[in-house]
């Protein structure tokens, strides 16, 4: 399979459009077109859905309530509830969550969405409904923006001459993903759910170019989760989860726009089984998770569950991404059901603002009870006021740092922040919502706490892959306890910067029943700078006092140079072969060996 693109430079001031993506593993681009696309930010909180509410019935009422919508308006068997619905002019009453009664998890069967006439007074409608003794409480449905792009965004196709620089994975203030890959590269049995604007599942670095998955094609060639219990295109809910033909996830967006928001998306109405991306945000987030759990070694990383809860829109004159809390809550419930059905979901990524509305509180509590991590971006307002989700016990809130290890200027901060992760000039897969050609494959540079959160999801997936017995609390604590604290790091940015390598080092090794065979010593290999322009320093971590050999091998398998160094020490390679000749530019493998242990990393050599 083709691995996610990881090594591209940050871009400044331009957008480059091309006819084919370029990476060291792909073909060269044949054409480029340059333009600038300035973007601005919108407030995190937009408002409330103007014609919908979530009604939560009491435990007794939810057991007795029967809804009949055949008459064109909601008809129920409880007279006082019917009177309240009639009083607010209810047009629809539908279950918010698909959950069977009698579940051992938190009960969500009493949550219903009621649609009322547009222009009605929401507060008055809430007061009327809550006067009924069968109603526990009523919630508005919050509308929020995605936590990305605090300034101009620039994206481009790659070219063979485009310099590499994904600092957030390997640089001194990144997450040390390159070292973590020496221990664990991820497992296709581990899933991270992306609750976002959708995911471009046909992106060549996510779903593969030759055979991408789709709602009608259950291809498992890439990093996209495929629902093994669903038969594509038969119009039947084969696995009984309440969703028909949900082969690669679900689109929960029912009716986009309203509340001062204008939908610009190609898909503005109708929940369905196509969770394709309309903004690029979800594709970028997904690419970060995929890259952390798949380091381009032709091995499968974790799978991405694509759940669309947002859309491309204009608000207050700004093009942005919009999400609703009821859609987010329903997506959380979908993940919980999949986890209960045996899908190993380690975490969900929530790179958007939140409010205690739309059933999100109950859905989050239910998902945490299913042992799934909830990872949420802290927000981009440079504020100390938390969104709702970070206040929920057990939710990991992630602030943003830059390449210097400092607080990103836009990042929210406060005692409620759990941890930080890179969030400035983050390179990942992308989708351009203004480009009508779906065959164009983009990578993009974005900034925001939206970009920080998926780094933590990727580390959670690595931990789950390394030791599947770890609980969500175990993974949470490992990430927090091993976070790296740079000099002068602010105390209100959480425990420090998440570090994939240190978290894996601290994780208990998985124990195979009946397997008492001695294990090879664990090695870690670091190559910096990487990419290299003539000088590379290698460092090997492993058994104290041992000596390691590092072979530099070209992509044809030929060894061009061998270095010897003490474990814990350093050795410098000057970019030449054994005869003293400069090696050609391109990709090489650096293979370190010490006793029975070995470890490999990729090295790019530039002019």
Alpha carbons 364 and 333: distance in angstroms, whole number: 8
The counts of H helices and E strands in the chain are 11, 30
Cβ atoms 252, 392 nearer than 8 A: no
Task: Return all residues near 116 (Cβ < 8 A) that are at least 6 apart.
Answer: 51, 52, 53, 88, 89, 90, 91, 125
Per residue in 23-80, pLDDT tens? 222 222 222 222 223 334 678 899 999 999 999 999 999 999 999 877 678 999 999 9
Is 450 one of the catalytic residues? yes
Which residue among 450, 452, 453, 465 is the active-site one? 450
More confident residue, 545 or 340: 340
Nearest residue to 274 (alpha-carbon basis) of 249, 311, 309, 305:
249
Q: How far apart are CA 170 and CA 598, in angstroms?
A: 20
Task: Give every strand in the sheet of 52-57, ordered side by side.
Answer: 92-95, 111-115, 52-57, 135-139
CA distance readout (Å), 409 to 9, 244, 402:
21, 44, 9
Q: Choose, from 111, 281, 370, 455, the residue flagged as catalytic.
A: 281
* Cα–Cα nearest to 313, from 274, 270, 255: 255
Predicted pLDDT of residue 39: 39
pLDDT at res. 259: 80
Q: CB neighbours of 51 closer than 8 A, spacing ≥ 6?
A: 115, 116, 117, 118, 119, 120, 258
What was the pLDDT predicted at 520?
46
* pLDDT confidence band for 301 (50 / 70 / 90): low
Report the b/e string of 344-355 with b at 16+ CB within 10 A. Answer: bbbbbbbbbbbb
Whole-number pLDDT of residue 21: 23
Which domains are seen in the chain, by residue range? 50-139 (3.30.70), 146-150+168-506 (3.40.50.200), 525-605 (2.60.40.4070)
Tell me the two tokens of residue 517. Answer: 């065979």
pLDDT tens, 128-179?
Answer: 999 999 999 999 999 999 886 433 333 333 344 444 357 788 778 999 988 8
For Cα atoms 495, 497, 500, give the angle at the middle one, nearest 5 degrees: 115
Distance CA 295, CA 182 (A): 10
Alpha-helix runs per DSSP H in 311-421: 325-340, 360-369
What is the helix (H) or strand (E) element at residue 170, kind and residue range? helix 167-170
Res 319 pLDDT > 70: yes
Strand partners, 539: 526, 570
The rounded Cα 174 to chain-centroid distance in angstroms is 17
Whose CA is closest to 129, among 67, 78, 86? 86
Query: Distance between CA 532 and CA 431 in Å, rounded?
Result: 29
Model pLDDT, residue 503: 95
**In this predicted structure, which of 190-199, 438-447, 457-466, 475-484 has the lowest mean pLDDT?**
438-447
What gap in Å lies between CA 549 and CA 547, rounded to an integer?
7
Adjacent-strand bridge partners of 429: 443
Token readout for 186 is 């991820």
559-581, pLDDT tens digit by residue? 899 999 888 888 999 999 989 99
For tokens 């979908």, the residue is: 334
How distant is the alpha carbon of residue 520 from its chain centre? 33
d(CA 112, CA 81): 12
Pairing, β 261-263 against β 547-554: unpaired
pLDDT at 534: 82
Strands (DSSP E) found in 480-596? 524-528, 536-541, 547-554, 559-566, 570-573, 586-594
80-84, 107-111, 201-205, 555-559: the lowest-pLDDT one: 555-559
Residue % of the chain over a pLDDT of 90: 57
Q: Could you confirm whether 281 is annotated as catalytic?
A: yes
- In DSSP notation, 502-529 reads HHHHHSPPP--TT--PPPPPP-EEEEES
Could you confirm whether 196 is annotated as catalytic?
A: yes
Name the active-site residue from 132, 196, 272, 277: 196
pLDDT tens-digit readout, 491-523: 999 999 999 999 999 999 886 544 444 444 567
CB 67 within 8 A of CB 93: yes
């Amino acid at each position: 399979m083709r691995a996610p693109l990881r090594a591209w430079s940050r871009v400044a001031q331009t957008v480059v459009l091309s006819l084919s993506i370029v990476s060291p593993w792909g073909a060269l681009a044949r054409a480029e077109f340059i333009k600038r696309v300035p973007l601005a930010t919108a407030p995190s909180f937009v408002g409330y859905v103007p014609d919908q509410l979530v009604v939560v019935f009491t435990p007794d009422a939810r057991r007795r309530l029967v809804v009949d919508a055949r008459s064109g308006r909601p008809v129920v068997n409880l007279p006082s509830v019917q009177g309240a619905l009639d009083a607010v002019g209810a047009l629809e009453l539908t279950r918010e969550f698909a959950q069977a009664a009698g579940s051992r998890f938190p009960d969500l069967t009493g949550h219903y969405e009621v649609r009322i006439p547009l222009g009605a007074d929401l507060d008055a409608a809430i007061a009327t409904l809550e006067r009924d003794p069968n109603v526990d409480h009523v919630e508005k449905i919050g509308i929020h923006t995605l936590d990305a792009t605090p300034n101009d965004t620039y994206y481009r196709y790659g070219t063979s001459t485009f310099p590499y620089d994904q600092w957030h994975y390997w640089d001194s203030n990144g997450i040390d993903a390159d070292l973590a890959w020496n221990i664990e590269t991820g497992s296709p049995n581990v899933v991270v759910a992306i609750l976002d604007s959708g995911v471009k599942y046909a992106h060549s670095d996510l779903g593969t170019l030759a055979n991408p998955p789709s709602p009608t094609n259950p291809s498992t060639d890439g990093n996209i989760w495929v629902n093994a219990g669903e038969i594509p295109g038969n119009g039947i809910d084969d696995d009984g989860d309440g969703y028909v033909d949900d082969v690669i996830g679900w689109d929960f967006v029912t009716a986009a726009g309203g509340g001062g928001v204008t939908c610009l998306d190609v898909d503005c109405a109708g929940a369905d089984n196509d969770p394709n991306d309309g903004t690029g945000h979800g594709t970028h987030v997904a690419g970060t998770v995929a890259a952390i759990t798949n380091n381009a070694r032709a091995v499968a990383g974790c799978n991405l569950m694509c759940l669309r809860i947002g859309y491309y829109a204009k608000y207050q004159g700004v093009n942005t991404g919009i999400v609703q809390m009821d859609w987010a809550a329903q997506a959380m419930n979908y993940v919980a059901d999949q986890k209960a059905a045996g899908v190993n979901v380690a975490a969900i990524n929530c790179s958007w603002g939140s409010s205690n509305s739309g059933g999100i509180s109950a859905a989050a509590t239910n998902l945490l009870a299913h042992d799934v991590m909830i990872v949420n971006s802290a927000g981009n307002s440079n504020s100390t006021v938390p969104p709702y989700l970070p206040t929920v016990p057990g939710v990991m809130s992630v602030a943003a740092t830059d390449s210097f290890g400092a607080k990103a200027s836009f990042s929210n901060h406060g005692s409620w922040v759990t941890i930080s992760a890179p969030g400035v000039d983050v390179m990942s897969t992308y989708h351009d919502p203004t480009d009508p050609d779906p065959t164009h494959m983009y990578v993009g540079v974005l900034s925001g706490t939206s970009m920080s959160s998926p780094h933590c999801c990727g580390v959670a997936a690595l931990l789950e892959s390394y030791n599947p017995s770890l609980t969500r609390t175990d993974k949470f604590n490992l990430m927090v306890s091993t976070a790296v604290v740079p000099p002068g790091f602010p105390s209100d940015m959480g425990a420090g910067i998440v570090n994939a390598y240190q978290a894996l080092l601290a994780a208990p090794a998985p124990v195979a029943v009946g397997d008492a065979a001695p294990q090879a010593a664990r090695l870690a290999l670091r190559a910096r700078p990487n990419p290299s322009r003539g000088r590379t320093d290698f460092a090997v971590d492993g058994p104290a006092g041992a000596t390691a050999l590092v072979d530099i091998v070209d992509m044809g398998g030929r060894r061009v140079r061998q270095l010897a160094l003490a474990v814990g020490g350093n050795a410098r390679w000057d970019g030449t072969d054994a005869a003293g000749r400069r090696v050609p530019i391109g990709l090489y493998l650096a293979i370190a060996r010490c006793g029975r242990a070995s470890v490999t990393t990729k090295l790019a050599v530039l002019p």
